[in-house]
Amino acid sequence: MKIVKLQEKFYNFQRCVIRLSEGLNGDLANEIYLSGMVKHYEMAFELGWKVMKDYLEYKGIPTNPSPRDVIKGAFKYGIQINSALWIGMLDFRNKMVHEYGEEAAHVLIQKLKGGFLQELQNTADVMKDLIDNIDESI
């Protein structure tokens, strides 16, 4: 894993989190707008756990390719995340794949306001610090 690839993936994760935050101020009554929020949540979640996975691999820590295992491993190896909330986000993401509709999108908005977004932002901050402090001479 090259540091540039990790930095690029992190940048995309960070942008998705910012867009989600901005999106909560938009027209949440519009179904097309809600669809965009759902897509940004899915992308932010996917990029978030993959950034953690890539960081662990960069540090030489083997990981399983499943999000659940990566989340548990990230916490185990000292990445300061709320692993229970990340597992909750994973379970919700998996549920949304099968139950998408306007009602599910509104539930997502409530979950974003109720802690999901804050945890994504916290994870982005933690990962930024870790990635910014990688010693590339290793």
- Please report which confidence band the pLDDT of residue 138 belongs to, taking 50, 70 and 90 as the band edges: very low
Provide the Cα torsion 41, 45, 46, 48; round to 10°.
130
CA distance 73 to 119: 17
Mean pLDDT of 52-76: 95
Span 3-132: which CATH code? 1.20.120.330
- Please report which confidence band the pLDDT of residue 48 belongs to, taking 50, 70 and 90 as the band edges: very high
Mean pLDDT of 79-101: 91
List the domain boundaries for the chain.
3-132
Checking if the pLDDT of 100 tops 70, the result is: no
CA distance 77 to 97: 30
